[in-house]
Structure 1
C-alpha cells in the first residue's frame, strides 16, 4: 500500500486523518510537535491495522526541525499522499497583532505547506501518481469575517491548491483543498479563544469523513458544511464570467472619462 505523510497529526483533524488512512491500509509518517501523543497514536494504529508508522517530531515553524520532514518527503519509500494539515490561528486584529506572532503564523500556515509540497511534488510528477490534501478554511472565501491575517493565510492555501492542480492534474497528481468551517479542534484553545461560544461547530470525525468522500470523488475543493454543491458551482461560474473581461486591452467604459 501507499504511504501518507500527515502534519499536525497529534490531535484534531490530523489525528483523524491518520486513523482513517491507516484503516484504509496506508502506511503513515505522522508529524507534529507532541512526541508523546504521536507515539501513542502510532502504537494504536500499528495494533489496530498492522500498518507501518514513522514518527517525526517537528515544529514546522523552525527551519532546522522542518528540514528532516522535507528530507523524508524526498526519500524512499515515496510519499504517495501528503496531508498539509498543521496550522494555527491568531486572535485579534491586524493593527494590534504582534509582528513576531504574525511571522510565526505565516511560517506555519503558508511557508511550511509550500515547502512540503515543493519537496514531494517532483517525485509524484515523475511517478505519474500522488495526492496532496491541503486543509484551508471557509474563511479563504470570507476574509471580511475574520480579523487579522488568518483568513489571508488560508486564502493562500486555497489559491496554491487551485494553481497547483492546474499544473499537475494532467500529470497524474491529484490536489484537494479542504475548507472546514467551525470544527471542534484545539486551534481555538491554542489561540486563546473559547469554542463554546462558537455556533454550529462540526465534529472532527464528521469533517474528515466528508473530506475523504470528496477525496474519493477527486474534488478540487471540498467544503463539508455546504449543503448544495450548486452554490459552489455558481461561484465558480461567476469567477469565470469575471475572468472573461481580464483580457481587454482598454479600461472598462466606467473608468474612462
Structure 2
C-alpha cells in the first residue's frame, strides 16, 4: 500500500489550520504543525495521535520572524515525507488604512503574503522534481472585492489567489496541484485580531463546514474553491470575462479613447 504524504499546516493551533490537521489526520496523513502557540499544538497533537494513530511533529514558529520562518522553510526543502503544504497562517487588522500604522500593515503583509510565498517557494521545487505534491493556499472572497474596505488585508488575499492560479498553471504540468481556497466570513479567532466581536458578524460559516467543503474541492482538483458560492457559473463567467480582456490589451498604441484630451 502506498505511503501517504505528510502534511505541513501553518496556523495550526486553532481554527481553519487545526481543522485541516484534524481532517488530514483522519485520512491517515502524518502531520507537521506550525504555529506560535505550542501549548495548543501539543493538545491538538496529543488528541490526534490518540484518535487517529498518526505521527505529529510540532514546530513553534512566528512566521513574521525571519529566523523562525527559515526553520520551516528548511523542513519543507529537506523532508521528503512532506507532500502537502497548507498555507493557512494569517491575521487581520482593525481600522481603516490611514488608522493602521505602517509597521502593522507591513507585518500583516509579511505574514499573509511574504511568509506564504517563501514557504511555497521552499516546497515547490522539491514537489516538482518528484512530480507530485499539493499546495493549499487559504485566500478569501475579499481578494475579489476591494469594496469590502479592508484594503491591505484584501490585497494580501488577492495576492494569494493570483499566486495560486499562476502556480497551478506553471506547476500543474509538473504534477504539482495548487489550490486557492476562498472562504467568506468564518467563525475563527481572526475577528478578534481586528477587534471585532465574532458573535456580531452575520452569515458566519462554521470552520468544520468550511474545511470539509474545501477538501471536496481538493479531491476534485479545483484550482479555485469558493465554499460559500452557490452558483459556480458566476465564477466561470468572472473567469471568462477576465480572459476575454487579454487578447485586447497587447496593443502597440493607446486605445482610441485615450487619444483625445478631455
Place the TM-score, normalised by the shorter chain, in its bin: over 0.9
Q: Which runs of 4+ in 1 moved over 2 A?
A: none
Query: Match of 2:249?
Result: 246
Cα distance in 1, alignment partners of residues 255 and 151 from structure 2: 33
One of 107, 116, 120 as aligned partner of 1:104 = 107
Query: Match of 1:67?
Result: 70
One of 165, 174, 183 as aligned partner of 2:168 = 165
> How far 1:78 moved relative to its partner?
3.1
Q: 1:90, 1:148 within 8 Å by CA — same for their partners in 2?
A: no
One of 153, 161, 169 as aligned partner of 1:150 = 153
> How far 1:77 moved relative to its partner?
3.5
> How far 1:191 moved relative to its partner?
2.1
Query: Match of 2:194?
Result: 191
- Note the residue ranges of structure 1 that are not aligned, 5 or more in a row: none
Q: 1:183, 1:201 within 8 Å by CA — same for their partners in 2?
A: yes
Cα distance in 2, alignment partners of residues 103 and 194 from structure 1: 24
CA RMSD of aligned residues (A): 0.9
> How far 1:9 moved relative to its partner?
0.4
Matches within 5 A, 1:44-123: 44-123=47-126
Q: 1:178, 1:222 within 8 Å by CA — same for their partners in 2?
A: yes
Query: Match of 2:139?
Result: 136
Matched, 1:25 2:4: no
Cα distance in 2, alignment partners of residues 148 and 217 from structure 1: 32
- Note the residue ranges of structure 2 that are not aligned, 5 or more in a row: none
* TM-score normalised by L of structure 1: 0.98
One of 212, 215, 218 as aligned partner of 2:218 = 215
Cα distance in 2, alignment partners of residues 192 and 217 from structure 1: 36
Cα distance in 2, alignment partners of residues 68 and 30 from structure 1: 13
Q: Which moved more, 1:91-100 or 1:31-40?
A: 91-100
Q: Which moved more, 1:40-49 or 1:72-81?
A: 72-81
One of 39, 42, 45 as aligned partner of 1:39 = 42
Cα distance in 1, alignment partners of residues 250 and 114 from structure 2: 31
One of 16, 19, 33 as aligned partner of 2:19 = 16
Number of aligned residue pairs: 257
Cα distance in 2, alignment partners of residues 213 and 138 from structure 1: 18
> How far 1:146 moved relative to its partner?
2.3
